[in-house]
Chain A
Amino acid sequence: MSFSLDGVGLVHPNGHRALQGVSLAARGGERLAVIGPSGAGKTTLLRVLGAALRPGEGTVQLLGEAPWRLPAPALRTLRSRIGTVHQSPPIAPRLRVVTAVLSGRLGQWSAMRALGSLLRPSDLEGAHQALSRLSLEDRLFDRCDRLSGGQLQRVGIARVLYQQPALLLADEPVSALDPTLADATLQQLVAQSESTSATFVASLHAVDLALRWFPRIVGMRSGQVVFDEPVANVTEPMLAALYASEGGLPMQAPGLPLDIPSRTFTAASANSVERPDCL
């Protein structure tokens, strides 16, 4: 079991209830997309999975541990095995791209190595490789405040690729990318989860991207899991009900039909399913 949540509920300090009775579990290497209207609790769910928020109700198991019962050093080790792609990449603007990518492994490095790497990057090759998977290798020595929003988002993704976590979380990882780049970037995240057997959970705004890249779809609304189905079982009425309050499905490429009934995207065929060739 890569993670399991049981009856998790969370109320933010301002009194807003973000999660209610959420039970969700995944085996190692599974890929889940979390979809739902804005304010549904997707980000909070990912922060609970990242051991960044402690829920007030229910139990959390991450990578075989109960994070909130661990002593501080063990919790730190657990956190270093979880990688999060944040919606707006939290990267100090004066950092160079190479440093921002290498900071993915700060959880595994000693303080001495971290300080040394700030003066002389300790793994140029690794940073270059992570960036080249997102076609950003030419910006290796640029400062992060010289990048566009989409480039910065990919630096945040490269950092997590370099971290090589066992649990890979992504909060709207491609929201600032155009459709072609978004597909290519999701492909890299999926490839990473396949090659390292990392569990991959992503919240996505674009429903068509979720259906294309993920074998398992979790629909959320008002802090609750509305459905949790293999992609083949997701029907148009289910999606319509999920997004009823938003007046239509948010799509990456609104012109194309969703084409749900003909899909045969099952867990068994997930690896062999045709992927859009966009590079």
Chain B
Amino acid sequence: MTTAQSLPPRTPPGLRDPLARRRFVWLLAALVIAWPMLQLSGFAPSALFAPGNLQVIGGFLAGFMPPETAPDFLAMLGKATLETLAMATAGTALAFLIGAPLAFVTTRALSVSRIGPGPGRAQAAVVRQAGRSVLMVLRAIPEIVWALVFVRALGLGPAAGVLALAITYGGMLGKVYAEVLESTDTRPARALMESGSGRIAALVYGLLPHCGQELISYTVYRWECAVRASVVMGFVGAGGLGQLMDQSMKMLNGGEASSILLVFLVLVLLADALSNALRRLLA
């Protein structure tokens, strides 16, 4: 009897959280999965601080000072910046044209046949799944691979980068747009479709007023990512700041590289300001 009394009081069955066990299992699973990943990737932060390594990193960074400010280099830098901006903007705009219609097709938030469920549910599910597969293929191949392909087809220059961005980012925008539309409050759109409204009307009257801000800030964020991605693509010949960076790095000119990095910083700040301004405008 004493042993039974010393046990903590059992929770009455009605008060037992039915989710508690599942949450514990998920937490355990996350740990079990994450640990081998760190091992596999050879992640050992202590290596960064080994004396020899610190010296190498320090020497590399010291070469970046001071930033290059020669007028003819600045002129080149300005031209490359414009090229990068043009590549990122045109690429994101094309990506929007690819992603937005696919999101409209694939999002479950605008499914009329799910109300009830009504007629045409199977066909609608097939169409949604097909759209989702297209999005998956578009974003599965990294933009750098597309850039390599298009540089061969179109020659060196930003045009290859624009196409590469449009394809990969179209897939990303479409997927995230569809998910944002689903995770917002879908009742207004559903109520409209329940009283006979079409999908486009339900989108603009029921969903966009609620999540337009989020869609815009994600799009601007993707544009910011496109600016960065255009650098990487520049390394394979797609023009812009990346190509300039590639040349500077090959010539071991740290000053030029740091000027280019400063321009990146300014571009990211610009994207942030733009995103904030647009969000305030739509609030």
Contact = CB atoms under 8 A, between A and B. Distances in A.
Interface string B102-119: 000000000011011111
Nearest to A92: B209
Contact of B201 (A71, A94, A114): A114
A104 B195 contact: yes
A114 B204 contact: yes
Interface string B181-214: 0000101101111111110111011111110100
Interface stretch (A79-87, A120-128, A175-183, A265-273): A79-87
A90 B187 contact: yes
A134 interface: no
A106 B210 CA distance: 18
Contact of A92 (B116, B119, B188, B194): B188
B194 A106 contact: no
Interface in A186-245: none
Contacts of B118: 54, 68, 72, 75
For the residues of B in contact with A, the DSSP-based class is helix
A141 interface: no
B188 A76 contact: no
A256 interface: no
Contacts of A71: 119
A250 to B, nearest CB: 26
B14 interface: no
A39 interface: no
A118 interface: yes
Contacts, number: 99
Interface residues of A, number: 39
B195 A79 contact: yes
* A77, A99, A111 pick with most chain B CB within 10 angstroms: A111
Contacts of A165: 195
B188 A111 contact: no
B51 interface: no
A79 B191 CA distance: 11
B120 interface: yes
A90 B210 CA distance: 12
Contacts of B209: 92-95
Interface in B127-148: none
B119 A103 contact: no
A103 B117 contact: no
B195 A83 contact: yes
A79 B201 CA distance: 15
Contacts of A114: 197-198, 200-201, 204-205
B208 to A, nearest CB: 8
Nearest to B205: A103
A118 B191 CA distance: 18
A111 to B, nearest CB: 5
B194 A50 contact: yes
Contact of B191 (A70, A86, A115): A86
A53 B194 CA distance: 10
Interface in A52-73: 52-54, 68, 70-72
A84 B195 contact: yes
B196 A106 contact: yes
A106 B202 CA distance: 8
A88 B209 CA distance: 18
Contact of B198 (A54, A82, A99, A111): A111
B200 A84 contact: no
A79 B190 CA distance: 12
* A71, A90, A115, A165 pick with most chain B CB within 10 angstroms: A90
A176 to B, nearest CB: 17
A38 interface: no
B201 A54 contact: no
A111 B117 contact: no
Nearest to A83: B195
A150 interface: no
Given A80-B195, A104-B195, A115 B204 contact: yes
Contacts of A80: 195-197
A90 B205 CA distance: 11
Nearest to B200: A111
* B185, B195, B196 pick with most chain A CB within 10 angstroms: B195
Contacts of A93: 209-210
Would you list the 3 A-B pairs with minimal beta carbon distance, nearest first?
A107-B196, A80-B196, A106-B197
Interface of A: 50-54, 68, 70-72, 75-84, 86, 90-95, 99, 103-104, 106-109, 111, 114-115, 118, 163, 165
